[in-house]
Structure 1
Amino acid sequence: MANGSRQAAWEFFGTELKGRREDAGITQVELGSRVFVSGGYIGQFEQAIRKPQLDVAQRIDGVLQTDGIFERLCRKLIDDKRYADYFAKAAELEAQATKICEFAPALVPGLLQTPAYAKAVTLAMNPFAPDESIDEKVSGRMERAQILKDATRPLYWVILHENVLRIPVGGPALMAEQLEHVVALTRERTVMVQVLPYTAGAYAVMTGDLRLMEFEDAPPTAYTEAVYSGTLLDDPAVVKHVQSAYDLLRAAALSPEASLDLIESAAEGFRRCASTT
Structure 2
Amino acid sequence: MANGSRQAAWEFFGTELKRRREDAGFTQVELGARVFVSGGYIGQFEQAIRKPQLDVAQRIDQLLQSGGFFERMWRKLIDDKRYADYFAEVVELERTATKIAEFAPTLVPGLLQTAAYTRAVMLAGNPFVTDAHIEEKVAARMERAQILNDATRPVYWVILHEHVLRIPVGSDALMAQQLEHITELVRQKKMLVQVLPTSAGAYPLMGRMVRLFEFEDAPPTAYTEAVYSGNLLDDPALVKRVQGAYDLLRAAALSPEASLALLESAAEDHRRCASTT
TM range (shorter): 0.7 to 0.9
SS, match of residue 224 in structure 2: strand
Pairing of 1:115-194 with structure 2 (within 5 A):
115-194=115-194
Give the distance between the partners of 1:142 and 1:174, measured in 2 at CA.
Answer: 16
CA contact (8 A) 1:13 1:70 kept: no
Helix, strand or coil for the counterpart of 1:238?
helix
Cα root mean square deviation, aligned: 2.9
Taking the aligned partners of 2:236 and 2:124, their CA distance within structure 1 comes to 36
Letter in 2 for 1:238: L
Query: Hey, what's the Cα distance between the residues in 1 that align with 2:82 and 2:218?
Result: 26
Paired residues for 1:1-277 under 5 Å: 6-7=1-2, 10=3, 36=44, 53=51, 75-203=75-203, 206-277=206-277
AA partner of residue 201 (structure 2): G
- Summarize the Cα distance change of 1:142–1:212 in structure 2 as closer, same or farther, 3 Å threshold: same
- When structure 1 is superposed on structure 2, of 74-83 and 142-151 the one drifting more is 74-83
Distance change in 2, residues 1:137/1:254 (3 Å):
same
SS at match of 2:203: helix
- Once residues 102 and 150 of structure 1 are traced to their aligned partners in structure 2, the CA distance between those partners, rounded to angstroms, is 19
Cα distance in 1 for residues equivalent to 2:72 and 2:107 = 35
* Matched AA of 2:275: S
What are the ranges of 5 or more consecutive residues in structure 2 without an aligned counterpart?
Answer: 12-41, 58-67
CA displacement, residues 33-59 of structure 1 (integer Å, 9 cap, x when unaligned): x9748x9x89xxxxxxxxx8468xx9x
The residue type paired with residue 156 of structure 1 is Y
Unaligned runs of 5+ in 1: 1-5, 19-33, 43-51, 59-67
**Alignment-mate amino acid for residue 84 of structure 1:** A
1: CA distance between counterparts of 2:6 and 2:181? Answer: 33
Distance in 1 separating the partners of 2:72 and 2:191: 35
The AA in structure 2 aligned to 1:186 is: V
Identity of aligned residues (%): 67
The separation in 2 between residues aligned to 1:165 and 1:201, in whole angstroms, is 16
Q: Residues of 2 paired with 1:15 and 1:220: CA distance?
A: 23
| Amino acid in structure 1 at the alignment position of 2:268 | E
Asked if the contact 1:198–1:204 (Cα under 8 Å) also holds between the matched residues in 2, the reply is no
- Amino acid aligned to 1:266: A
Q: Give how far 1:217 is off.
A: 1.3
The more displaced of 205-214 and 173-182 is 205-214
What is the one-letter code of the residue matched to 2:220?
P
> Structure 1 residues 80, 201: CA separation in 2 closer, same or farther (over 3 Å shift)?
same
* One-letter amino acid matched to 1:191: M
Deviation at 1:202, TM superposition (A): 1.3
Q: Distance in 2 between matches of 1:75 and 1:54?
A: 11
Which range moved further: 82-91 or 147-156? 82-91
Residues 133-188 of structure 1: CA deviation (Å, up to 9, x unaligned): 11111111111101101111000000000010000001011000000000000111
- The alignment partner of 2:102 has SS state of strand
Question: Residues 276 and 144 from structure 1, CA distance in 2 versus in 1: closer, same or farther, beyond 3 angstroms?
Answer: same
Contact 1:208 1:224 in 2 (8 A): yes
Give the deviation of 1:70 after TM superposition: 10
State the secondary structure of the residue aligned to 2:86: helix
Equivalent AA in structure 2 for residue 101 of structure 1: A
Q: Output the CA distance in 2 between the equivalents of 1:225 and 1:154.
A: 21
Distance 2:79 2:230 in 1: 17
Provide the TM-score with structure 1 as the length reference.
0.76
Q: Residue 201 of structure 2: SS of its match in structure 1?
A: helix
Give the residue type in structure 2 aligned to 1:86: Y
1:13 positional shift: 5.2
